[in-house]
Chains A and B, each alone.
Chain A
């Protein structure tokens, strides 16, 4: 079955540590996205990538980094520079069409990150 996997489901981090959240998709989608969700709020875009070896900052990229070395994978690193990293993180992917990215995004199950 095609889909998006995120690991781990729960992650605990000590202050000052970097952590990496995994996101893998086997949908053959070109575009991938990372979102942050805080309680009572909608999703905020951290980074997105439309093609391998290329990515762009979203609204809240500070304190985060990404890589896109393979089409299937888009890991997110939460660095120690992120002041308030405790949140729910969602990874998504979508088809890129020649008419524009007007396609729905498919989501992974999410990773809950807690800073101790």
Chain B
């Protein structure tokens, strides 16, 4: 079975500092995509960033970047210059399943301290 593990149920960071959320997964696939989604208190699920497994270059989107280690099956999210609006649940969701299914981690709750 393909699994996704987010080992940090909760993380807190001081405003303006940097935080890294971890995600590991298990798959035998060689070509896949990986996504990080954010779910703020409104519960609207929002895409943060995506990474294609065949690309060696790590994806970046403004203050958000990933550290993708394909051999280690690791896909961490780094948030720089944390802002109060970054407070949310963050879900790692690799697209590992050829049956058109995202595999979702349990999520990490990110708390931003002012």
| A43, A44, A48: the one within 8 Å of B91 (CB) | A43
| Most A-side CB within 10 Å, residue of B32, B43, B91, B100 | B100
Whether the Cβ atoms of B44 and A109 lie closer than 8 Å is yes
Residue of B with least CB distance to A112: B43
Number of interface residues of A (CB under 8 A): 24
Contacts between chains A and B (CB distance < 8 A), count = 51
Kindly provide the distance from the CB of A46 to the nearest chain B CB, expressed in whole angstroms: 11
Asked if residues A48 and B100 are in contact (CB atoms below 8 Å), the reply is yes
The stretch among B12-20, B60-68, B80-88, B103-111 that forms the contact with chain A is B103-111
Contact call B100/A50, Cβ cutoff below 8 A: yes
Specify which chain B residues have a CB less than 8 angstroms from the CB of A109 in the assembled complex: 42-44
Known: A90-B45, A107-B44, A110-B43. A42 touches B105 (CB 8 A): yes
Taking A41-B106, A42-B105, A42-B107 as contacts, is the C-beta distance between A101 and B47 under 8 angstroms?
no
| Interfacial chain B residues near A8, Cβ < 8 Å | none
B25 surroundings in chain A (CB, below 8 A): none
CB-contacts of B34-68 with A (<8 A): 35, 42-47, 50, 52
Q: CA–CA, A18 to B1, complex, Å?
A: 32
- Asked if A105 is at the interface of the complex by the 8 Å CB criterion, the answer is yes
**CB interface residues, A 50-81, toward B, < 8 Å:** 50, 56, 58-59
> Which residues of A lie under 8 Å from residue B4 when comparing CB positions?
42
Residues of A within 8 Å of B43, CB to CB, are 88, 109-110
Any chain B CB within 8 A of the CB of A1?
no
CB distance from A83 to the nearest CB of B (A): 22
Contact B102 A105 (CB under 8 A): yes
B positions within 8 Å CB-CB of A: 4, 9, 32-33, 35, 42-47, 50, 52, 91, 93, 95, 98-102, 104-107
5 new A-B contacts, CB < 8 A, other than A42-B4, A42-B91, A110-B44, are: A42-B104, A43-B91, A43-B102, A48-B100, A102-B95
